[in-house]
Amino acid sequence: MVSNERTISELYEKLIGKFTDWAEGRPDIRMAVVIGSRTRTDHAADEWADLDVLIATTDPKHYLETSEWTGEMGKPLLTFTEETSGGNEQERRVLYEGMLDVDYAVFPIAKIKQFFTLNNDKPIPAETALIMANAFGRGFRVILDKDGLSKRLEAIIARLPQPLPQPPSQDEFTQVVSDFLYHCVWTAKHVLRGELWWALTCLHCRLAQLQLRMTEWQARASHGRGFDTWFRGRFLEEWADPEVIEGLKTAFGHYDRQDAVAALCESMKLFRQTAIKTANKLNLHYPNDADEKITQWIRSRL
């Protein structure tokens, strides 16, 4: 396993080298930074990790609307574009031979420079700080810097605020619980209508995301506000309550009416347990009356 991880890492390093050599000769590419798992020390990249490269260019349209350039780094099996995880920019994803998976996040250089001209005497705006922390906070590696921006990047990362996540207020807690219970009824109605696709999509997406939110709140309520719950469920198996991990085993259903009903009931049970534990820890109110009436209605119909 270690030998294979080393081989994969070497292949990615060769790809980075090819990209850097090629980008050096492209006047429009001003900066390139490796981010993500291949720069982390905490949960460092294993053989399954992809490569994330941020490209700052004067011509982002070229790299998003054409794909021939990806062949400079290797032989692509496929490529496509999608929104970045923050949803503010686009990235080109490429799968090279050997199943080397690369995300090229393409940013206008003007936007990058705007970030880097933040006034040292003023706090970094919260939205900007979040974007910067998500992209660079767990590690980064500058592989190309034609305009001398890397020192500025390092300085900004060093002064990013490290606020502890706030526990949910009663209104925020009620909002998430209400959202979950409402969509349990919504899911049940679509099962009754025979629309399993819609029902399971809601169960596996909407309800699962609300379960994740509650699981994060519970973890921080139990271990402290500074407890690291990562992002979007990364490494959930390591930080979530063991009862949540066990409950998730039956909270997802197959494309089958009976299985969908069972998974919905198990999802409701798991969410209820997680939410009540969170409420007890944070002295919040859980809407037992609404839960009981909704649960009874679903059981009577399904």
Give tens-digit pLDDT for 196-243: 999 999 999 999 999 999 999 999 999 999 999 998 999 999 999 999
What integer pLDDT is reported at residue 274 of this predicted model? 98
Asked if 259 and 266 count as a contact pair (C-beta separation under 8 A), the reply is no
Say which CATH superfamily domain 170-301 falls into: Nucleotidyltransferases  domain 2 (1.20.120.330)
Place 118 in a pLDDT band, splitting at 50, 70 and 90. low
120 has a pLDDT exceeding 70? no
Burial of 4 (0-12, 13-18, 19+ CB in 10 A): exposed
- Residue range(s) in the chain whose domain bears CATH number 3.30.460.10: 2-158
Give yes or no for residue 125 having a pLDDT over 90.
Answer: no
Does 269 score more than 80 pLDDT?
yes
The structure tokens 């990562």 sit at 230
pLDDT at 3: 59
φ and ψ at residue 188, rounded to 5 degrees? -60, -40
Tell the CATH topology of 2-158: Beta Polymerase; domain 2 (3.30.460)
For residue 2, pLDDT over 70 is answered with no
**In terms of Cα–Cα distance, which of 274, 257, 270, 268 is closest to 222?**
274
Backbone phi, then psi, for 81, in 5-degree steps?
-115, 155
User: Are residues 218 and 278 in contact, defined by beta-carbon separation less than 8 angstroms?
Assistant: yes
The mean predicted confidence, pLDDT, of the chain is 92
Mean pLDDT of 250-269: 97
Q: Which two tokens stand for residue 212?
A: 């994740």
Amino acid occupying residue 224? G
Does residue 44 have a pLDDT over 90? no
Residue corresponding to tokens 């021939």: 68
Overall size of the chain counted in residues: 302
Q: Which residues contact 136 (CB under 8 A, 6 or more apart)?
A: 33, 35, 153, 157
C-alpha dist (Å) from residue 91 to 117, 233, 247: 24, 21, 35
Angle between helices 126-136 and 109-116 (to 10 degrees): 110
CATH 1.20.120.330 maps onto the chain at 170-301
Report the pLDDT value the prediction gives residue 162, as an integer from 0 to 100: 74
Judged by DSSP in three states, 66 sits in coil
CB-based burial label for 130 (10 Å; 0-12, 13-18, 19+): middle
Given this model, what pLDDT does residue 137 score?
81
How many Cα atoms within 13 Å fall on the side-chain side of residue 221? 22
Report which residue type is found at 269.
Answer: K
pTM (2 d.p.):
0.88
Distance (Å) of CA 158 to CA 38, 43, 178, 277 = 20, 21, 39, 36
Question: pLDDT per residue over 171-189, tens digit each?
Answer: 999 999 999 999 999 999 9
Determine the pLDDT at residue 4.
75
Nearest-CA neighbor of 16 among 142, 114, 117? 142
Label residue 153 by pLDDT band (50, 70, 90). Answer: confident
Q: pLDDT at residue 1 above 70?
A: no
Strand order in the sheet with 29-35: 76-83, 90-96, 100-108, 51-57, 29-35, 140-145
Determine the average pLDDT of the residues in 245-271.
Answer: 97
Dihedral of the alpha carbons of 236, 239, 243, 249, in degrees to the nearest 10: 20
Q: Which of the 8 DSSP states describes residue 202?
A: I
- The pLDDT score that the predictor gives to residue 133 is 76
User: Which residues are registered as beta bridge partners of 76?
Assistant: 96
Residue-level pLDDT at 157: 82
> In the structure, what pLDDT confidence band is assigned to residue 21 with cuts at 50, 70 and 90?
very high
